[in-house]
Structure 1
Amino acid sequence: MKASGVTDILFDQLSFRGERQKVISSNIANINTPNYKTKELVFENELKKVDDSKNLALKTTNSMHISVASTNQVNNDKSRLVEVKGLEEQNDGNNVNIDKQMSEMSKNKVIFDALQSSIKKDSALFKSVIEASKNN
């Protein structure tokens, strides 16, 4: 049983952030590898393709609930690894910029931590609803 309809999205994003951390770490590890090209895990760009009018469907369990007719679902395209184009190359053909990669790693960690916090709060809310219904 999942806490809410958002749970799957949060876990998908958490998984994406974990994979992205691996790609960034790989870029940093290959900073001295001749002809290595910076890689990036693309997922956010795929989400931007989804029309803003597409929302998560609300679940109605009572006839008094507000009904939202939404046949459009978010397209959960999986992430894909791409080579970053147009970066400045060093003499050995390597184009990894350590400052950029460290910045991306920090940004990714902040988002990862926020997702973890959101999952914990979502689960705590679900738990409180169950406990409240148990007492009634």
Structure 2
Amino acid sequence: MDLINNATNQLLQTALTASTTRQNTISQNIANVDTPNYKAKKAVFAHELSSAIDRQKLTAYRTDVRHIPFGGSSSEEVRVIERTDTQYNHNGNNVDIDLEMADMAKNQIYYNALTDRLNGRFNSVLTVLGKGG
């Protein structure tokens, strides 16, 4: 069993990358709130685990055909698209600062939860190795 490069840690890493992309997209929108004709953008991706389960893309190495298939993770990329579900301001800009600030706060909480979970996993490995306190 690989304690560092396992499916759970890879899933957490993918979620952190997606959260970082979302944060960068939101930051760009906030920075361009007064830029004429700027079109707000959003990061589009499905939650990795639920998407993989829903599409049944979970796979594992099986040594016998009678083994139940499981494991793996989705490898979809995050895409950044223009937001089309908002109204345009008088200058052609469609950034809603209240929505962006709320999304930023929600994403920060999500990112903090992911880093806390990843830190907990690494602390468990340190404890097993006799290095944790």
Instruction: Report the TM-score when normalising by structure 2.
Output: 0.78
Identity across matched positions, percent: 30
Distance 2:36 2:97 in 1: 15
Change (3 A) 1:104 1:119: same
Q: Which residue of 1 aligns with 2:8?
A: 6
Which structure exhibits the higher relative contact order, with contacts defined as CA atoms closer than 8 Å and separated by 6 or more residues? 1
Distance 1:71 1:51 in 2: 10
Give the 5 Å matches for 1:1-136: 2=4, 4-44=6-46, 49-52=51-54, 54=56, 69-70=68-69, 73-131=72-130
Distance 1:110 1:21 in 2: 11
Change (3 A) 1:47 1:91: farther
Shift of 1:54: 3.8
List per-residue Cα deviations over 1:94-136 (Å, max 9, x = no partner). 000000000000000000000000000111112222339xxxx
Which SS does the other structure have where 1:28 is aligned? helix
Change (3 A) 1:22 1:89: same
2:109 alignment partner AA? V
2:86 alignment partner AA? L
Change (3 A) 1:117 1:10: same
Distance 1:81 1:110 in 2: 21
Structure 2 gaps of 5+ residues are 62-66
Shift of 1:11: 1.1
8 Å CA contact retained: 2:51, 2:74 = no
Distance 2:60 2:129 in 1: 19
8 Å CA contact retained: 1:57, 1:69 = no
Distance 1:7 1:47 in 2: 12
Shift of 1:44: 2.1
Distance 1:46 1:58 in 2: 17
Distance 1:36 1:54 in 2: 39
| Aligned-residue CA RMSD (Å) | 3.1
Structure 1 gaps of 5+ residues are 60-67
